[in-house]
Structure 1
Amino acid sequence: MSSLLTDRFGRNIEYVRLSVTDRCDLRCFYCMPRGFRDFEIPEHWLSFDEIERVIGAFARLGTRRVRLTGGEPLVRHGLPDLARRLAALPGLEDLSLSTNATRLARHAEALRAAGIQRINVSLDSLVPETFRQITRGRLDKVLDGLMAARAAGFRPIKINMVVMKGINDHEVEDMVEFCLEHGFTLRFIETMPMGDTGRNASDRYLDLREVRARLARRFELLPGVMPGGGPARYVQVAGTELRIGFITPISQHFCDTCNRVRLSVDGTLYMCLGQEHRFELRPLLRSGCTDTELEQAIRDAINLKPERHEFTEKPEKILRFMSMTGG
């Protein structure tokens, strides 16, 4: 079954990034202010029943991929139970998770048993002090989580590294070697001007075409592909299984192939990471809407999806932080 959700620009929307919380146990400086406390109140969080209902409606309309995100999704109590319920929905083919992995060591096996197939882990540095500078967290907890995920049988495990000039750009080759050693996939990401935190990090922005050129001088890079619904452009290191992806929302935007929307913890559908187009589902859910009404609301929301972001032209436009939108 193909997606029944097609936006005004002919793009099939078959991928939902589902934020189960806007809270996080780290404070990456490009994502959330260190003193931030203005979190969504629990009464506004979608319940697991409400989440299952919304994702069920998306699945009936042709959505095939769902990624659990945050904030840090593992701070939401009972996440394996939610994953189990979503994995059982008819039509849903791919359930994945984005995490900082600080809590993954104790949850990996339960998440795998619940039906999560793939994991993306945010890891911006392999140097404990640099990692602490970026996140205020402990690197060893993340590494323990990664090894637990590998032991639990997750394949693939993707490492997401936001590359920042003067912070961690000198670690690019080290991260490649780390992923070669452990059998992980690697994705480099450009910084985005999301909220004050993202804009304050803009002087650290690095065009990933420079990183790719650097890597090509050390490794033989071949065209590569990876399963999944994300925007990365992949290469493969010759003679190995390592695939390296480049996510370039600034230098080479991928808006013409965007196939996703984001559902925040309070039931707001965001049509674009770099625009303010949104649709509130929570009032509809809590007023007793029918499944038909819910599906029509989702169709109406998709019609709001803009053609592209304006990160380059209007970097001051997005006031919300990345953690508020859902990764």
Structure 2
Amino acid sequence: MRDQYGRTVDYIRVSITDRCNLRCRYCMPEGIELVSMEEILTYEEIERICTAAAKTGIRKLKITGGEPLVRLGCAELIGRLKQIPGMEQVTLTTNGVLLKEQLPDLKAAGLDAVNISLDSLDRESYRKITGRDQLPLVLESIEAVLESGIVAKVNSVLLKSVNEKEWEDLAGLAERYPLDVRFIEMMPIGYGRQFEAVSNEEIRKKLELRYPEMAADEREHGNGPAQYYQIPGFQGSIGFISAIHGKFCGSCNRIRLTAQGLLKPCLCYGETYDLRSALRTEKKEEGEYLLQKQIQNAVAGKPEAHCFEAVQEITEDRKMVQIGG
């Protein structure tokens, strides 16, 4: 599908739950209110949406949450989504806590790649950020997924006065392991507005000073908008997803599905397209038509660009965990 600005949209991020086993300060702190399970899409409904999406031109799925692995049967769902005609790739974003435990099932399901969110390699710092002492499990999961042969990336968010000094340690994961480390600028959505982000330009300059031979890496690394760099001696590359200081809207190829069945054309704005109503109509054929139509409407309704650099113009007022990572 192409939107009104000529961009090809072939990728959808699918949140399957708003639950999580961590309590990260900028995403889902203690005390956050969760919706009832009756409001969350069933796996059958998610499969129907993804089937309709494939018929409209979607070719790649990213399963997200909350933390998708806390929902029972996540691997089974991935296996079913992999069987949808026209679907070329199904990947997963996780905090890694349950990844090692569920890895055999995920591999058997045909998972293509996994992104692991990790903001600190210091155990105490990790506990303060996430509210849980689970760093050893995450590090074990990273090693296990690499041993399995599944492609892995690490996503890191640096925040002022929180973990901003850990850029070198986190980047060092790409030296130690054959994986990419991506630094993601904090977006001013939900609790993220309460924190001061570290700009990727600042991190890149520090890395260039530390590694003068660092050079741009033009190879394709996945579906996202990251700009990658190679450092001599590193097994993986360093990527930067610069939503605030490196606007990449001109190449945006995605839409987002919340766990409650709302389709978002852009993370920045509150506009959504209701798919749950189409799913739960009594006439199935009519519902399938409405699903495809709403997906097409969402793509047609994608704005030209976000406005994260002008916080007062952001119209999305939900928390990030309610939207999907």
Task: Give the percent of matched residue pairs that are identical in Structure 1 and Structure 2.
Answer: 40
Tell me how far 1:162 sits from its aligned partner: 0.1
Quote the residue 2:25 is aligned against: 29
Kept in 2, the 8 Å contact 1:109–1:149? The answer is no
Mapped pair 1:130 → 2:130: no
What is the DSSP-based 3-state SS (H/G/I as helix, E as strand, rest coil) of the residue aligned with 2:172? helix
Amino acid at match of 2:268: G
Paired with 1:242 and 1:150, the residues of 2 have a C-alpha distance of: 12
Amino acid at match of 1:218: R
Mapped pair 1:208 → 2:203: no
The 5-angstrom pairing of residues 154-165 of structure 1 reads 154-155=150-151, 157-165=152-160
Which of 21, 28, 51 in structure 2 is aligned with 1:56?
51
The 5-angstrom pairing of residues 93-242 of structure 1 reads 93-137=88-132, 138-155=134-151, 157-195=152-190, 197-201=191-195, 204-219=196-211, 220-224=213-217, 225-242=219-236
Tell me how far 1:289 sits from its aligned partner: 4.2
Kept in 1, the 8 Å contact 2:230–2:238? The answer is yes
Paired with 1:143 and 1:241, the residues of 2 have a C-alpha distance of: 17
Kept in 2, the 8 Å contact 1:278–1:304? The answer is no
Quote the residue 1:296 is aligned against: 293
Paired with 1:144 and 1:66, the residues of 2 have a C-alpha distance of: 26
- CA displacement, residues 168-195 of structure 1 (integer Å, 9 cap, x when unaligned): 1211111122221122210001111111
What is the DSSP-based 3-state SS (H/G/I as helix, E as strand, rest coil) of the residue aligned with 1:95? strand
The aligned length equals 318
- CA displacement, residues 35-93 of structure 1 (integer Å, 9 cap, x when unaligned): 11x21211121111111111111112221110000000001110111000001111111
Quote the residue 1:82 is aligned against: 77
* Structure 2: runs of 5 or more not aligned: none
Paired with 1:239 and 1:35, the residues of 2 have a C-alpha distance of: 44
The 5-angstrom pairing of residues 278-297 of structure 1 reads 278-287=272-281, 288-290=283-285, 291-297=288-294
Amino acid at match of 2:323: T
**Aligned CA-pair RMSD:** 1.4
- CA displacement, residues 224-280 of structure 1 (integer Å, 9 cap, x when unaligned): 133321111111113443211101111111111111000111110011111112101
Paired with 2:30 and 2:275, the residues of 1 have a C-alpha distance of: 30
Q: Which runs of 4+ in 1 moved over 6 A?
A: none
Quote the residue 1:92 is aligned against: 87
Kept in 2, the 8 Å contact 1:70–1:323? The answer is yes
Amino acid at match of 2:15: S
Paired with 2:56 and 2:235, the residues of 1 have a C-alpha distance of: 35
Amino acid at match of 1:19: S
